[in-house]
């Protein structure tokens, strides 16, 4: 009895497999003989019934589109990298930076009857040749955003003498930053400023000492002026 049941079970499995094969064959025959309109206007039976990727009748076109998109993305990526290299090459060719300091002085600088540019005559770096040490003047070789810094140091001769200085950073004749000291309590003092400035080509920046003020006891390297181009602009 048990053998008969097993035999019947196996026969039922074989029958189901035959029915499934017949169903697939029937579907394939129906697909081939179909005369109506199809979504993609053709029927790729091999694709539909055999391709392991489970594609539909438009699989070939979809694969072609995927390949086209991939190649376009790769081409765009290549162009982006080329553009980045070009930008770096352009920026790399525009290097503007300087740093300078006042030389050591036995006497004070000042006082004067008018505002006077400070002569930072010891130049340690001047890439782009924008800084003129004879005038203490920086002239922008091209438009861009620049960073400027200056430090001020002064030391009076004795206790009770007046510390009296005021120094200003000027852009095209206008004040953009300043620092000062005016008291009898300090015999030695220093200060500094850093600013970002937008300059047109030919724009000028310098540091000046106000009239009637003075810088004394300067040691080389303590009174400094420096600047650099952060990035160029079109105007």
CATH number, domain of 167, equals 2.60.120.40
Using the 3D structure, point to which of 93, 125, 148 is the last residue of a domain: 93
| Residue 142 CA: distances (Å) to CA of 1, 194, 228 | 102, 21, 12
Of 50-54, 141-145, 165-169, 205-209, the range with the lowest mean pLDDT is 50-54
Dump pLDDT digits (tens) for 11-42: 454 445 445 455 545 555 655 565 665 555 55
Structure-model confidence comparison of residues 104 and 28, the more confident one: 104
Question: Dihedral of CA 184/186/188/190: which sign?
Answer: negative
Q: Residue 47 falls within a domain, yes or no?
A: yes
Using the 3D structure, point to which of 93, 128, 143 is the last residue of a domain: 93
Longest dimension (CA), the chain: 129
How does the average pLDDT of the chain come out, rounded?
78
Dump pLDDT digits (tens) for 114-157: 999 999 999 999 999 999 999 999 999 999 999 999 999 998 87
Q: Residue 45 falls within a domain, yes or no?
A: yes
Residue 56 has pLDDT above 60, yes or no: no
Are residues 214 and 108 part of one domain?
yes
CA–CA–CA angle 190, 193, 195 (5° rounding) = 170
Helices assigned H by DSSP within the chain: 2-33, 45-50, 59-92
State mean pLDDT over 202-217.
Answer: 93
pLDDT value, residue 51: 47
Are residues 217 and 183 part of one domain?
yes
Structural domain including 188 reads 95-232
Q: Residue 75 falls within a domain, yes or no?
A: yes
Task: In whole angstroms, give the CA distance from residue 123 to residue 224.
Answer: 10
Are residues 110 and 198 part of one domain?
yes
pLDDT value, residue 28: 58
Residue 2 has pLDDT above 50, yes or no: no
Are residues 106 and 138 part of one domain?
yes
The model's pTM: 0.61
Of 202-206, 217-221, 225-229, the range with the lowest mean pLDDT is 217-221
Are residues 188 and 101 part of one domain?
yes
pLDDT value, residue 218: 81
pLDDT value, residue 34: 56
Structure-model confidence comparison of residues 219 and 99, the more confident one: 99
Residue 32 contacts residue 24 (beta carbons within 8 Å): no
Are residues 76 and 34 part of one domain?
yes
> What are 132's strand-pairing partners?
137
Non-local (6+) Cβ contacts of 140 within 8 A are: 96, 130, 146, 199, 200, 201, 202, 203, 204, 205
If one counts the domains in the chain, the total is 2
Dump pLDDT digits (tens) for 156-176: 876 667 778 899 999 999 999
Are residues 204 and 106 part of one domain?
yes
Are residues 100 and 175 part of one domain?
yes
CB atoms within 10 A of CB 101: 21
Q: Residue 21 falls within a domain, yes or no?
A: no
Dump pLDDT digits (tens) for 63-93: 677 778 877 877 787 677 667 666 655 655 6
Q: Residue 18 falls within a domain, yes or no?
A: no
Are residues 187 and 78 part of one domain?
no
State mean pLDDT over 208-223.
Answer: 88
Are residues 117 and 226 part of one domain?
yes
Residue 1 has pLDDT above 90, yes or no: no
Using DSSP's 3-state secondary structure scheme, residue 125 falls into: strand
pLDDT value, residue 18: 45
Are residues 207 and 105 part of one domain?
yes
Are residues 159 and 102 part of one domain?
yes
pLDDT value, residue 111: 86
């Amino acid at each position: 009895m048990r053998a008969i049941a097993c035999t019947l079970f196996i026969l039922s499995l074989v029958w189901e497999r035959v029915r499934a094969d017949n169903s697939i064959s029937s579907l394939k025959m129906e697909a081939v003989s179909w005369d109506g309109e199809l979504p993609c206007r053709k029927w790729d039976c091999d694709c539909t019934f055999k391709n392991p990727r489970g594609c539909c009748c438009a699989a070939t076109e979809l694969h072609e589109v995927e390949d086209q998109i991939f190649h376009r993305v790769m081409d765009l990526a290549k162009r982006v990298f080329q553009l980045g290299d070009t930008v770096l090459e352009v920026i790399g060719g525009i290097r503007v930076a300087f740093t300078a300091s006042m030389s050591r002085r036995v006497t004070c600088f000042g006082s004067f009857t008018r505002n006077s540019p400070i002569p930072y005559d010891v130049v340690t770096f001047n890439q782009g040749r924008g800084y003129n040490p004879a005038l203490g003047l920086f002239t922008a070789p091209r438009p861009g955003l620049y960073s400027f810094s200056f430090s001020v140091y002064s030391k009076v001769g004795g206790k009770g003498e007046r510390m009296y200085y005021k120094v200003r950073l000027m852009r095209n004749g206008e004040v953009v930053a300043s620092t000062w000291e005016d008291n009898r309590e300090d015999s030695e003092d220093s200060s500094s400023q850093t600013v970002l400035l937008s300059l047109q080509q030919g724009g000028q920046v310098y540091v000046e000492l106000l009239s009637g003020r003075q810088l004394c006891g300067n040691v080389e390297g303590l009174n400094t002026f420096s600047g650099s181009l952060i990035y160029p602009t079109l105007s």
